[in-house]
Each structure stands twice: as C-alpha cells, then as structure tokens.
Structure 1
Amino acid sequence: MKRIPTLKYIALAIIFAFASCADDDSVIITPEAENPNPNPVPVNLAPEVEVYEADKIHNNLTLAIHAGKNFSTILDKTGQVVHEFTFDNVLGNDLEILPNGKLLGIFKDTSTEIQFGGSAGIVRILDFNGNVEWEYILNNADFVLHHDVEMLPNGNVLLLVWERILEADAALQGSVNPGNIYPEKLIEIDPATDTIVWEWRSFEHIIQDDDASLPNYGIVSQNPNKFNVNYNPANNGDFMHANGFDYDENKDVIYLSVNFFSEVWVIDHSTTTAEAATETGGNYGKGGDILYRFGNPRAYDNMMGEVRSDRNHYPNLLENGVPGDGNMLVYVNGFAEGVSTVYELEMPATFSLTPDTDNEPTVVWSYTNTDMFSAKVSGAERLSNGNTLICEGDFGFWEVTPEKEVVWRYNGGVGSFFWRAYDYEVDDPNLAILGL
C-alpha cells in the first residue's frame, strides 16, 4: 500500500493559463510566462495530470470509482494512486467509504436476468481488505438492484430496483409501451434482518392521456405530481432508467435522477410503505406522489420553465457546511448537443408543483466546456474551498474554481470509465481508520 505523499510541498511544477479560442469555446492551455517562485520544490506529477495549479487546487484525495471494473482507486492531486481496492465481482456502479471505514458497494451478479446498463443485483458491506461482512442479493426475472446505494442515518440501506411489469398488466393501466416494462422502485433494507422496511413504487403514481377508458387517465399537464407512463416508450421496456439518488435527512426526502425523463424527482421518505402507494400521507401530505420535479418541464407537458436537462446523473445535495450548503449539483450529460454541464441549483424551501407555471429552481452556478462531454454516468462534488470536482465519466476529473477556472484535470486515458468521484480530506477520519 502506498502512503499519502507529504503535503507540506509548496510546489508549483506546472502552471497553466487558459484562453478562449476566438472560433469556439474550447479551452487552450498555455504556460505562464513567469514563475512567481523561482525555486519551487518539484512536484512529481503523474502523466495523467494535464492541469495542476498548486496554489488553487484543493489538496485533497479523490475516490475514483471505476464503473464495471473489479477495482477502484484513491488518488491524490498529483495523480498518484495512494490506495487501490480490489473486489471479487465487478462494480455495478456505486462505491462509498462509510464513517466506520468499511466499504458499501453495489456489484454485478453474473446471472443477472434483467440486462440494462447499470444492472447489478448485489449490495455488499466490505471491510478494508475486501472481506464481505454483509450481502443482500435481489436479482431475478422480476427485480434487480441497479446503479446506486446509500446508507441512511438509521443504518438501513437505500437501493434502486428495476421492477418488471408484464405487458398485459401494464396495458391495463394505460401503458402503450411495447412488451414488458421496467419502472423504478426504491427499497430500504434493514441489514440486521435483511427485510424491506420501506418501499416506493413509481408505477403506483402514473398518469396517461391515451385511453380514457383505462385507469390513470387524465390531463398530464394538470397532474404534475404523477408521471406520464407513455412519455418515453422504449422497445426494451427500460423507459425511465433512474440512475442515482440522494437522501436529505433534514427534509426526509429522496432526490431521484430519472435519466430518460431528464428530470430529478423528489420523493417523500417519511411515508409508510402503505402511504407511499397512495397520494396521501407523510409529512407533505402527498403520499408517494412526486413532491417536486425539475430539469425538463416538458416531461409533464408544462410549456413554462426552461428545459435544462438532456439526460442527467447524480443529484448531489450539498451538505455539511460546504459552500452552497442546501443547494444541489446535477451533472447534465447533454446527450443531443454533445456538451455536458454541471448546474448548481437552489432548492425551494417548500416543495410545490403548480400546473402551467415555471416550477424550475434557480440556477446559482454552472460550468460547461466544449471539451467536457460524457453521454453516460458522471457527477460533481463541491469541495470545502468552494471549488467543484467534476467527474466526466469517459474521460476523468476536472477541478473548477467558482470563477470557472480549471485548476486540476486528470485524464484517465483510453478506455477509462468512471461512475463518480468522491472527495475526501487528507485528514478525513474515515481514511485514518483505513490506515491511509
């Protein structure tokens, strides 16, 4: 195991300035003419590090999650690997270091029956050496775990599930999707008993305007708390493709990224499972209906409000006193235009959805670059110094200042594919437990 390099270096080995191209918005990197420190202590930069502004970066550690691989790495800002985790199974996507130093991850079951991008089937808690301390498997013809996992403050584990609805049953509820469909479900598991203690099924909160003789019929635009089951018909049945979530302990809600709707939905977690199946109950009185949604108002036939999302990942609620605390970072993949954008959005104090009204949140900050595009995965983290760490899934990582200056860029190389990047301070007690 490599040790964390000494952090007392004042080094400035490579300094870059950025200039906008007159013909496009691409960034051109040129060396500065003068070195403000004529005798800098050399910094040994890995070849993957393309930009390194020593006096502007946040000198922390990055957990680089290698999607679909059987390993993940912790990097320092010089690009050195200070630790590598290896696993028996390839990652289904998410991996996190828990406060007790253990790992929580979602992994691919080789016998997965529901095969979409992000299918997994297994969630595990591992010790530092990769030994499995807890495992929960949900993988059969009707259900499969996928994409994301989070440990809740009560010690339970929140998971995302694809649920199979047979074509005939879906059609009886007004679905025009061909074949079976696979809507999203959230489940909360108690690891002590392996029981589901709470669940929310999206299919219990649908609306359709295609057939007045069938259930769930109504005017989509006048029912923004329901989702249009026929908004995005898919030949393979994966018509929603949620890909990530974040839990808000203060409000007891879940932010759910629904990729093929190009939206983030807010779901009330304070409900009972029974209430979550209805449109009443819970702290907000809406049961399991959508409390709030943003990114693509056209998904519910709302002609008001700007469409900002074209596929999106990682609804990251800023917490724990970082700059922008209470706001949300969302990585918009920019599927059609081929350019990605990170938005920082101000979350409303009160969740409400009013028909034919601009319900979109206020943009506080954003970053885009013609050189930054990933059609899949990706995300962003806010660092304690105010910089933003961006994971461009099929490239690597960017660190950007509030003024939108790129001060660190890590190029993972050909074939690299990163789910997300999580930030850890060098003195984080989680890492100390791990012996780093």
Structure 2
Amino acid sequence: MKRIRITSLIMFIFMAFVILSCKNDDSFAVEPETIEDPDSSDDSNSGDDEDTAAGFDGSTDFINPDLVFDSYILVNDAGNNRAFLIDKNANLLFEWPLGNNIGNDVYLLPDNRLLAILEADTPLITYGGKGGKIQFINRDGSIDWNFEYSTEDYITHHDVELLPNGNVIALVWERMPVQKAIENGSVHNRDLYTEAIIEIDPRTDQIVWEWHSWDHLVQDYDDTRENFGIISDNPQLINFNYTQQQEDGDIMHSNGIAYDEVNDLIFMSVNFFHEVWVIDHSSNTSEAASSAGGNYQKGGDLVYRFGNPSAYNNSMGDRLFFNNHFPNLIDTEVSGKKNMLIFVNNMNNTEQSVVYELQFPNTFELLPNMNNEPEIVWSFTDPELYSPKVSGAVTLPNGNRLITEGDFGFWEVTEGGEVVWKLRSEGFYWRGYHYNKDAPEIQALGLE
C-alpha cells in the first residue's frame, strides 16, 4: 500500500513539473488552422493561458469553403456566462474575464474594451435576461466603469448600446404596483413590469434621458380608468392588456435595442408583443413622457411599429413576427438607407426560425387601419434552423449573413441562401458579432 502511495506521489510531482514547464513556455501553441483539438486551453495568439483556460469545444462544417468569409466572431455564451473570440475553425483566440454573470449583451469597442450588461450581485427582478450592472471591461478584466441599476422597483436587462456621444442606452424593467396598474386599466390584479429606456453619461453616472412605456398606454377594458380609448384608432399607443395571459407580471419583455444615429431613433424589440417599436430619441425627457415634441412631434409615443398588426387591433398587413430577437440595423448600398435584420424564433408557430431583412418606407407613418408593415427584401430559413429563444444575424463584408442559432451555434449563408459553413457547440448563444481580422477592435487586442 505504501509503495502505491509513493508511486502516486512521484507521478503527481512529475505531472506538476510538466504542466508548469508548459505554462512558462511561450512557444507552445496550437497551430492557427488546427480544428481537431478545440479543448486545448492554450491560446495560439495571445500568449496568455488565463485568457482561454476554459477552452472552446466547437465542431465546424465547411460546406463550401470558397464562399466562407474569413473573419472572427465575438461569442456571447449566456449559458456558460462567457464572452470570447473565435475564428471560423473554432479556435479560441481570446476570452475576457467577467466578474458577474452575463445579463445578455456583451460587445467589443474599438479600444478593445467590452461594453457589457451583467447580472447584479443580488438581483431582485429575476426574469430571463436580467441585468443590473453595466460595465466597460478591459482586456485583463479590470473595470473602467461600473453602473449599477437594480432594486426591487427597476433593473437594466438584456441589451445595451453605446451612442456616438459616448453615452450608453439600456433597457429597463420597472415595477408598476398593482394599484397603479389597476388605475391605468390593467386586467391583471398584480404588480406589473413594464419597459423603459435610460441613457447614462458614463462620465458622471447621471441618467440624462429616459422613456417609459407606462406614459404611452391605451386600454379598452375599463372606461372608468386611465388610458381608455379605441385600440385601433391609436396605433401610436401601447395596448396595456395585449398579453392577457402573462401571469408573472412581465407583460412586454423587450430583448433588444438598436440606435439609428441618422434619424435619432431607437428601435426596441418587444418579444411578447411580437413587434419592434420605434421611439424618437430627439425628444427631451419631459417630451418623451408626453405625446408632443421631438423631431417627429410625437413626444414619446411610437413613431413606427411593425411585426404584428394584431398588437394594436389593425386588420391590415400581415403578421411577420412570432417572438423576435436582435433588431440589427444595417447599411444598404442600393438605397443608402438602413434596413434591418431580425431573427424570428418561431415562424408561424411551426418550430422553425427565419431571418428577415426588412426595408422601411421612405417616411415613418403609423396610421390606423393601414398596412404599416415594412417590405421583406431577403429571408432565410431551413428545416434545421430553430431556436425558441435568443439568436440573431449580422451581415458580412462579402454579402453573406452570419446567423446565431441560440441552441445550436452559428450558420453562414450567402445572399442567395446557400449554407456555406456551420459551427456547432454546446452553449446558449445570445448573439455572435462579426469582426474583420484587421478591424480596429481586433488590432487593439494585440493578438499576434
């Protein structure tokens, strides 16, 4: 028995020596083109083993390698609370240390910092996608800015975006106590959680602009309560009782925002309404609480909405969305305007997903009893493409689309709909962001 223990001790010491030797040998690296060893904990580019200690287990299928765009993907793995960079061979190139779980969105800025929405230490509003912290995170995991917005009455959640002026916008759930909800015409006899957007100045931690959905409601349930009106006559307002079967108080569940800097508009994906709402950011906070002011003279009322006409009792126009994620605004060379890519999780309730590219009308008009839906100019689906949650799509420089299928991994498809590449990996993928290998964000990381 003693001999076995002594032998085991010798083997342990020997293995420890080998491991320490490898960790101190910068020349030990996986070749960049290798795809057979995704479990390797060594980083072939950064030379910092701690950045990639968890590894990445992904299998790739190059269906038509000549058409695959050679670039990097920033992976938001909400299931494992990781944010990391990979190439198309599924090599793990870099991973950012995160101090808290992912609230959902994490993306890379040109100066190599991450902008991340993370979970609060003890969140008191705990729907899926909960957040509470917004941070700028450096390459080494140190935090340049930390903004906490989490109480029993409100919490940031799901998505965050940096504005051209350096401010940050974020989605917020805010609690409407049951008595206030009833006074506003709710059919629910409970506290409700409605949507808001806040804009924070990271230099001062001040909220400099805000919009609240509860300022823009309409209901036809009780004519003795606030906001009573005809739903179909008020497409600019939000039907307070549209999600009548939602028992936990989360009646809207927004999951994504996008900012149009040309028109100063915010696009908000509202999952339980199966819509995208468009809000005028040019209004000030006072105007955003009203129905007047701003570039569109609507205050904080909806400038435009699309995806589900039934959400405002509109009999015109076809329903496009059945749960929707990632309202991704993209520039178009043909029209010079912005189109939108969006992932529809459950197309016509068939357990099959679809990605649409939508073209907006020349002017945003939102009229009663009119077809207000945008035009579908591109779409992709496949019998194997289905994720009931998360997911999204981005464009690549060669015209391909990189699709994140939340329960699967990633697809790359051509504009003609040909699948040219897939990556499968265990995880729960919120989004995948594309970066050229020579992009400023990548160069600032100093991978090579």
TM range (shorter): 0.7 to 0.9
- Verify: 1:218 aligned to 2:214, yes or no: no
- Counterparts of 1:324 and 1:56 in 2: how far apart (Å)? 26
- Verify: 1:180 aligned to 2:191, yes or no: yes
Matches within 5 A, 1:310-325: 310-319=322-331
- Counterparts of 1:355 and 1:324 in 2: how far apart (Å)? 29
Q: 1:62 to 1:368 in 2, by over 3 A?
A: same
Query: Residue 272 of structure 2 aligns to a residue in which SS?
Result: helix
- Counterparts of 2:58 and 2:431 in 1: how far apart (Å)? 21
Q: CA deviation at 1:50?
A: 2.5
- Verify: 1:426 aligned to 2:437, yes or no: yes
Q: CA deviation at 1:324?
A: 8.2
Q: Choose which of 373, 380, 383 in structure 2 pairs with 1:367.
A: 380
- Counterparts of 1:171 and 1:291 in 2: how far apart (Å)? 27
1:68 and 1:93 in contact (8 A); partners too:
no
2:280 and 2:294 in contact (8 A); partners too:
yes
Q: Choose which of 236, 245, 250 in structure 2 pairs with 1:238.
A: 250
Q: Choose which of 343, 353, 369 in structure 2 pairs with 1:356.
A: 369
2:32 and 2:91 in contact (8 A); partners too:
no
Stretches of 4+ aligned residues off by more than 6 angstroms? 1-7
Matches within 5 A, 1:34-433: 48-233=59-244, 234-319=246-331, 326-334=338-346, 336-413=349-426, 416-433=427-444
2:366 and 2:372 in contact (8 A); partners too:
yes
Give ranges in structure 1 of 5+ residues lacking alignment. Answer: 10-45
Q: CA deviation at 1:378?
A: 0.5
2:132 and 2:148 in contact (8 A); partners too:
yes
Q: CA deviation at 1:4?
A: 10
Aligned alpha-carbon RMSD (Å) = 2.1
Q: CA deviation at 1:68?
A: 4.3
Query: Residue 251 of structure 2 aligns to a residue in which SS?
Result: coil
1:318 and 1:324 in contact (8 A); partners too:
no
Larger radius of gyration: 2
1:302 and 1:357 in contact (8 A); partners too:
yes
Give the structure with the larger helix fraction: 2
Residues 86-124 of structure 1, C-alpha deviations (whole Å, 9 max, x = no match): 212111100011121111101112310011011111110
- Counterparts of 2:304 and 2:176 in 1: how far apart (Å)? 25
Residues 332-386 of structure 1, C-alpha deviations (whole Å, 9 max, x = no match): 0117321110000002221111111111000000001111111111100011110
- Counterparts of 1:323 and 1:135 in 2: how far apart (Å)? 40
Residues 249-269 of structure 1, C-alpha deviations (whole Å, 9 max, x = no match): 000000000000000010000
Q: Which amino acid aligns with 1:379?
A: G
1:245 and 1:256 in contact (8 A); partners too:
yes
Q: Which amino acid aligns with 1:80?
A: N
% identity of equivalent residues:
46
Q: CA deviation at 1:200?
A: 0.2
1:90 and 1:108 in contact (8 A); partners too:
yes
What is the aligned partner in structure 2 of residue 22 from structure 1?
none
Query: Residue 193 of structure 2 aligns to a residue in which SS?
Result: coil
- Counterparts of 2:32 and 2:190 in 1: how far apart (Å)? 58
Q: 1:4 to 1:273 in 2, by over 3 A?
A: farther
- Counterparts of 1:342 and 1:3 in 2: how far apart (Å)? 38
Q: 1:385 to 1:221 in 2, by over 3 A?
A: same
Greater shift, 209-218 or 319-328, is seen at 319-328
Q: CA deviation at 1:70?
A: 3.4
Q: CA deviation at 1:323?
A: 10
- Counterparts of 1:215 and 1:325 in 2: how far apart (Å)? 39
- Counterparts of 1:183 and 1:297 in 2: how far apart (Å)? 20
Q: CA deviation at 1:85?
A: 1.8
Q: CA deviation at 1:75?
A: 1.2
Residues 5-55 of structure 1, C-alpha deviations (whole Å, 9 max, x = no match): 769x9xxxxxxxxxxxxxxxxxxxxxxxxxxxxxxxxxxxx8610334221
Give ranges in structure 2 of 5+ residues lacking alignment. Answer: 1-25, 35-56
Q: Which amino acid aligns with 2:254?
A: A
2:178 and 2:189 in contact (8 A); partners too:
yes
Query: Residue 261 of structure 1 aligns to a residue in which SS?
Result: coil
Q: Which amino acid aligns with 1:216?
A: N
What is the aligned partner in structure 2 of residue 24 from structure 1?
none
Q: 1:364 to 1:199 in 2, by over 3 A?
A: same
- Counterparts of 1:337 and 1:161 in 2: how far apart (Å)? 31
1:104 and 1:125 in contact (8 A); partners too:
yes
Q: CA deviation at 1:69?
A: 3.0
What is the aligned partner in structure 2 of residue 15 from structure 1?
none
Query: Residue 441 of structure 2 aligns to a residue in which SS?
Result: helix
Q: CA deviation at 1:313?
A: 0.4
Query: Residue 179 of structure 1 aligns to a residue in which SS?
Result: coil
Q: Which amino acid aligns with 2:274?
A: S
